[in-house]
Amino acid sequence: MKKFTLFLIIFSILIARTSFLADAAFTSAVETQSDVVYVYSLDADRTVIYEKNAEKIVNCSALAKVVTAYLVTTLCDDYSQLITVPATPIRALDSVSCTRVGILVGEVISVQELLYCMMIANAADAGNVLAYHFGGDSISAFVEKMNEFAAELGCENTHFADPNGLEDMEQYTTAKDFALIYEKCLTGDYFAQIAGMDYYKMPATNKYYETRYLHTTNLCMDYNYPDYYCEQVVNGKVATDSNTLGYAVSTATKDGYTYLAVVLAGPSVDYDEDGNTENMAMVDTANVYDWIFDKVKLRVVVKTSTIVDEVKVNHSAEYDYVSLVPMIEVSALVPEGIDSESVYIRSIAELTKTEVDAPVHKGDVLGTAGIYYADEEIARVDLVASFDVERSYSRFISESLQDLFTHPVFIIIISILLLAGGGFGVYVYFFSSSKKFKGKKIRIIKGYEVIDKKKKK
């Protein structure tokens, strides 16, 4: 079942006091044909922009080269280092259908140029050479590093079987996992630089006497392909499997906002009915980015002057309640056509105090509110007292005594003491009486004369 979501909360300067819920979202108007789509904001702590089957396990295809490239950049100290290409990694691809740039056994080529071949031109032969070299003459050892890397990031539904993402039942990922992987890879400046290249002129080597020209396979970055081109895309990697399904990962930036998109299993269809089939992974990538940057506008959805709730105040002669307002102003990128009243704020009962003792200072955090769109919570913000409330000491004393005297524990204790005191009194009375009259003569007082019955005849 398709699930389209858009969550575009963009925060104010004091974002640290606002909590955004990554799985909440606005409904998007843009349609996609790829089976899996996942887009989130890199400016708002991975808040989801668009989601469709983001946790579905699918083939990762040649996007695995992203991990290979990043690990090489972490393992290599000198990108100008020359490698003499051994036979093993090249012969391993002899019976495999994959993209190559024709690297030859014995060719001397730098690490940098091998990275360019793999990331720009999607060359599997370059990927094998790098994995073999940095895996200690073992491609499988390098693949172990790839899986360790994914596991360290918390990617539980990702597994790699080779450095190039060649088709294998044991090679898979999810959009959510790969988004984390790509975001981590972009923290490497050199990786980000390579991922943003769309062209490279490769000089001659000892095996090639002519220049080789590398052109990006990520057509979202190539203005010569208007079906795919998106000027906001600044880096990425794409791939196509044997079933002509497309895969793409990228980031796009405009007006100070940056988004990361993972689009997997995009079919090849004649999207624009021009007689040619298009790779929908790249078409969907461009369409989602274009829609976001063109149709979504920044707007204040919560003001600091908005009274959200009230809290009862004790020990104040002036106020019985203090009103609660949002701690900060919250802005959101809201799609065109969305009524501002569709976004509202409401206090969360279990996270908001029902009463508080004075003194209360303006700005004291007394609760939490949820920000909602179509009855779905999309963010949270602290609620604070909107004004000062001073303590009345006479009220404090009287209310404290009243609270004391009406407290159930106090009443129980007093009741117990009264019962105990009464019981003790009864006990003392009867005990004293029995000792007083035992063996005594009875004396009758009559008028002013005391008569002793025992002596009376």
| pLDDT (tens digit per residue) in 5-23 | 443 433 333 333 455 555 5
Chain centroid to Cα 282, Å, comes to 25
**Parallel, antiparallel, or unpaired: how do β-strands 309-314 and 355-357 relate?**
parallel
pLDDT, mean of residues 160-176: 91
Tell me how far apart the alpha carbons of residues 275 and 216 are, in angstroms, rounded to a whole number.
Answer: 24
Least confident of 155-169, 239-253, 441-455: 441-455
Query: What's the pLDDT at 372?
Result: 84
**What dihedral angle (degrees, nearest 10) is formed by the CA atoms of 224, 229, 235, 239?**
-90
Burial of 276 (0-12, 13-18, 19+ CB in 10 A): exposed
Query: What's the pLDDT at 10?
Result: 38
Tell me how far apart the alpha carbons of residues 172 and 157 are, in angstroms, rounded to a whole number.
Answer: 7
Pair of tokens at residue 17: 């006091």
Pair of tokens at residue 345: 């704020």
The more confidently predicted of residues 424 and 276 is 276
pLDDT, mean of residues 260-269: 96
Least confident of 22-31, 281-290, 368-377: 22-31
Least confident of 117-126, 174-183, 336-345: 336-345
pLDDT, mean of residues 344-353: 93
- The enclosing H or E element of 37 equals strand 36-41
pLDDT, mean of residues 158-186: 93
Tell me how far apart the alpha carbons of residues 77 and 73 are, in angstroms, rounded to a whole number.
Answer: 8
**What dihedral angle (degrees, nearest 10) is formed by the CA atoms of 282, 284, 288, 289?**
10
Query: What's the pLDDT at 330?
Result: 83
Query: Does residue 213 contact residue 246 with C-beta atoms inside 8 Å?
Result: no
**pLDDT tens profile 81-130:** 999 999 999 999 998 889 999 999 999 999 999 999 999 999 999 999 99
Query: What's the pLDDT at 234?
Result: 97
| Cα-trace Rg, the chain | 39
Distances (CA, A) of 395 to 310, 320, 355, 399: 21, 12, 16, 6
Query: Does residue 313 contact residue 356 with C-beta atoms inside 8 Å?
Result: yes
pLDDT reading at 288 higher than 90: yes
pLDDT, mean of residues 214-231: 95
Which residue has tokens 């990786």?
191
Query: Does residue 371 contact residue 329 with C-beta atoms inside 8 Å?
Result: no
Provide the pLDDT confidence category of residue 451 given band limits of 50, 70 and 90.
very low
Q: How many CA atoms lie within 13 A of 389 on its CB side?
A: 25
Q: How many CA atoms lie within 13 A of 39 on its CB side?
A: 36
